Amino acid sequence: MNCLTIAGRKHYRSKQEIGNVNILFHRPMHGPRGSITLMKTILRSLRPVQLNLIAAVARLGKLSLAADACSMTTPAASRMLADIETQLGTILFERKPKGMFATPAGDVLANHARKLVSGIDQMTKAFADHLDGTGGSVRVGAVTGGALAVLIPAILELQRHAPLVDVSLDVASSAQLMRGLEAGEYDFTLSRVGPQDFTRHFDIHPAGSEAVRLMVRRGHPVDGAGQVRLRDLLDYLWTMQDRGAPIRHAIEIAFHEEGTDIPASLIKTPSVVAMMAMMRDSDVIAVVTEEVADLLLSPPYSADLVVLDLARPILIEPYYILCPRDRLLSAAAERLLDHVRTQVSS
């Protein structure tokens, strides 16, 4: 075994003869622990342009082609590769007349370099998409009426122009949405404000209002009865949201204004699906918003349901666009908010 110098570092060379074939083994002369630590430091400090060059050489097999792919001259690429090999104390590519071929060490490094370069490319694209609003993520929430009338059309419009934006939509009560907004779970919401003064913490803009509709199955005893008063419907089974919901508050006030309490026969649920199932199988009267009723009665659903003609309209308090003042919106969230404002103004 004898010693030779490669790229400024000493290597040991041993030769074994197998038949007539000479096999060369290259082993870098590293010290036990200090050199390994140094090697780890060098690998962790490799720059993206160096990783890109290593991956390109392994992929293309020629230094000139790899240099072109990395937008550098061939001499500059040669110097950079030699510097990496010198620092690591090992040869990464064998230089042969037909091209460059990765050594086992070079193959290990090239495989990881390829993954890292791909990750950097993905990061660059994702960051650029985030800045111009064509990518990134948005999380928003809305009450049912606001979701159906404003937010969902705005989201669909955003997706037509920026299909890569990841949008998350929660439809919930105003109380839940306010808690989520204060906790930083939403970029903005379409919800109602409580009795507290939120003007110091949120930008608040009017968005819309909702009306209450009473729905029954087609063929219900009061189907086709013309205008009805709430007092005329007390003997039927009802379904509506629980106390605390704005729609429940609005219907309670309406009963009170007619001088009576809400019906005693009552199933409480916030689920529109559950209400639909009950209307299909019984003579229940369901309390829903105008937007929900329009959705169910319009194509392609065209549910076999009817809306009762109330003698007096029942309105729910309006909802608002709420944006936290202490947080900057991403470009994607700003784009969605612009679409929301367009929907509100129209």
Q: How far is CA 153 from CA 46, 160, 318, in A?
A: 48, 11, 19
Both 170 and 297 in one domain: the answer is yes
The helix/strand count (H/E) of the chain reads as 12, 16
One domain for residues 155 and 282: yes
| pLDDT mean over 289-314 | 95
- The pLDDT score that the predictor gives to residue 6 is 40
Q: What is the mean pLDDT of residues 217-235?
A: 94
Look at residue 118 in the predicted model and tell me its pLDDT.
Answer: 85
Predicted confidence at residue 199, as pLDDT, reads: 66
Question: In the chain, what are the helix, strand and coil shares in percent, each to the nearest 5?
Answer: 45, 25, 30
pLDDT of 5 higher than 60: no
Residue ranges with strand state E in the chain: 2-6, 9-18, 21-28, 93-96, 99-102, 137-142, 166-171, 188-191, 202-217, 227-228, 238-240, 266-268, 285-289, 305-307, 309-310, 315-324
CATH of the domain at 60: 1.10.10.10
**Phi and psi angles of residue 26, each rounded to the nearest 5 degrees, phi first:** -105, 125
Q: Looking at residue 326, what is its pLDDT?
A: 80
pLDDT band at 346 (very low <50, low <70, confident <90, very high): confident
Q: What is the pLDDT of residue 197?
A: 61
**Of the listed ranges 26-30, 66-70, 203-207, 298-302, the one predicted with least confidence:** 26-30
Both 200 and 264 in one domain: the answer is yes
260 and 186 in a common domain: yes
Asked if the structure places residue 345 within a domain, the reply is no
List CB contacts of 65: < 8 A, sequence separation 6 or more: 56
User: Which pLDDT does position 124 carry in this prediction?
Assistant: 82
Are 210 and 290 in contact by the 8 Å Cβ rule? The answer is yes
Do the domain assignments include residue 330? no
pLDDT at site 251: 96
Q: Is the pLDDT of residue 12 over 50?
A: no
**pTM, rounded to two decimals:** 0.65
Range with lowest mean pLDDT among 135-149, 183-197, 203-217: 183-197
Confidence class for position 338, pLDDT limits 50, 70, 90: very high
Which whole number is the average pLDDT over 283-312?
A: 96
**Number of domains making up the chain:** 2
Domain that holds residue 23: 2-129
**CA 173 distance to own-chain centroid:** 22
Give the pLDDT confidence score for residue 193 in this predicted structure.
85
Is residue 20 over pLDDT 70?
no
In a domain, residue 69? The reply is yes
Does any domain span residue 342? no
Model confidence pLDDT, tens digit, residues 123-162: 887 787 777 777 788 999 999 999 999 999 999 999 999 9
> What pLDDT, on a 0 to 100 scale, did the predictor assign at position 108?
94
Q: What is the pLDDT of residues 43-58, one digit of tens each?
A: 989 999 999 999 999 9
278-292 average pLDDT score: 96
Within this chain, do residues 60 and 153 fall inside the same structural domain, yes or no? no
Q: Is the pLDDT of residue 34 over 80?
A: no
